[in-house]
Amino acid sequence: MHKHHRALGLATTPSITNTGIDIAKQRPVQPVTLVRPHAASRAARFFAEKFPGRSMYAVKANPSPALLQILWDSGITHFDVASIAEVRLVAETLPEATLCFMHPVKASEAIRSAYFDYGVKTFSLDSVEELEKIVDATDHAEDLTLCVRLRVSSEHSKLSLASKFGAAPGETKELLFRARQAADALGICFHVGSQAMTPEAYANAMERVRAAIVDAAVTVDVIDVGGGFPSSYPGMEPPPLERYFETIHRAFESLPVSYSSELWCEPGRALCAEYSSIVVRVEKRRGDELYINDGAYGALFDAAHIGWRFPVELLREPESRSKDMAFSFYGPTCDDMDHMAGPFYLPADVKAGDYLEIGMLGAYGSAMRTAFNGFGSDETVIVADEPMVSLYGEDMPEVASNVVTL
């Protein structure tokens, strides 16, 4: 790293180093993001090889162009986009990628541009009004894949997505029937909520899909089980992802759909959580409270606003021999809301001037950053070590069979 870039907190081309402790030895003034391309590639290959259908990346989780390229090179060729800005981003980064506009409420102008300017053919919807909007904005196109989103329970997930989108049981019959008439291919999609902690979430949702298909008596070409696939965090250790895949596959095989119907999923967190972490400096200690130089308005939005716990490590050599104790964090801004309650377990002798690595921030950490109060840093370093936690084994093939090299 160049010292003058580090001191000013300017964006730099990622350099390559080995571990977080190597960064700490350089005593950076600003937070430094560590990225692990090998971790994202491994996760992508896992889904591309083992999910019994098509995996498309939910871009909202981390829209980094570098990450998009890694996922593409590792077998992810379809991308779930939620805005015309995400459409443009992926189209410019990966011109050969297939884009699916899976936000159920879209501006007419965004639909028109996505279809006519970028060749997007797949759209989700959860109301007759949205269906009519899509049909009008695409000039009654005859090559659309239309996915009707059902409202399903989020009871097994850490973050609910059950209240904002999704057609209720009494609304699905007419909606599916009308979408079938307008679509070249008809799909049904749902989202069980973020960080689903049991495969049962998908089994229950698939029963809702079954009931909707039987009630509407329509031919369905696509079943999209959405996102919600978990990563591992302190206090949130999910079962192996293979169990989720097995449950989904069994449920899909039992649905009243044709043999040619496709199974899709939309992992976001599961593909990118292990991709990055952040190195921060402790600026002050007050009892069991640590003031650090990143926080609620930076990469730790989820830690502050929804109480998410992330793995943490003291970057010190030699290692501390003190027992761990529970800490909470304050971020660098002047706002009392810039507080991460934790608990985050660190050696009891941590002090001002120490450096910490906070892991599993690849999902939503970079996406939620702001420059509030003038704090923040774009400095990124590529590291070769393993993420603090991983759900992916080492026995994956070198490349997936559907990799396309740019």
CATH class, domain 38-272, is: alpha beta
8-state DSSP, 342: E
Q: For 168-188, how does the pLDDT look when each residue is reduced to its tens digit (9 = 90+)?
A: 889 999 999 999 999 999 999
User: Which among 270, 222, 238, 254 has a CA at the least distance from the CA of 53?
Assistant: 222
Please list the residues that pair with 84 across neighbouring strands: none
Could you give the CA distance from residue 156 to residue 197 in angstroms, rounded to a whole number? 6
pLDDT score at 55? 98
For the stretch 205-212, contacts whose Cβ atoms lie closer than 8 Å and that sit 24 or more positions apart, written own/partner, are: 205/150, 205/152, 205/153, 206/248, 206/251, 206/252, 206/255, 207/251, 208/150, 208/152, 208/169, 209/150, 209/255, 210/254, 210/255, 210/256, 211/169, 212/150, 212/169, 212/172, 212/173, 212/176, 212/188
pLDDT higher than 50, residue 42 = yes
The conformation of residue 325, written as its DSSP 8-state character, comes to: E
pLDDT in tens, 202-217: 999 999 999 999 999 9
User: In the prediction, which pLDDT does 406 show?
Assistant: 25
Distance of CA 303 to the CA centre of its chain: 16
* Of the candidate ranges 10-14, 238-242, 303-307, the one whose mean pLDDT is the lowest: 10-14
Closest CA to 122 of 54, 28, 31, 22: 54
- Residues whose CB is less than 8 angstroms from the CB of residue 244 and which lie 6 or more positions away in sequence, other chains included: 196, 199, 202, 229
Site of tokens 């990225």: 35
Residue closest to 362 by CA, chosen among 41, 5, 15:
41
Which one has a higher pLDDT value, 54 or 395?
A: 54
- Helices (runs of H) and strands (runs of E) counted in the chain: 12, 19
| Mean pLDDT within 325-335 | 94
The amino acid at residue 328 is S
Let me know: does 285 contact 78? Beta carbons within 8 Å. Answer: no
* Mean pLDDT of all residues in 134-140: 98
- The CA distance from 170 to 146, in Å, is 19
d(CA 94, CA 329): 38
pLDDT tens readout for residues 256-310: 998 899 999 999 999 999 999 999 999 999 999 999 999 988 899 999 888 899 9
Side chain identity at 279, as an amino acid letter? V
What is d(CA 317, CA 182) in angstroms, rounded to the nearest whole number? 64
Domain boundaries, the chain: 7-36+276-383, 38-272
Give domain 7-36+276-383's CATH architecture: Beta Barrel (2.40)
Joined tokens for residue 325:
């104790």
The tens digit of pLDDT for each residue in 334-367 reads 988 999 999 999 999 999 999 999 999 999 888 8
DSSP string, 185-228: EEEEE----EEE-STHHHHHHHHHHHHHHHHHT----EEE--S-
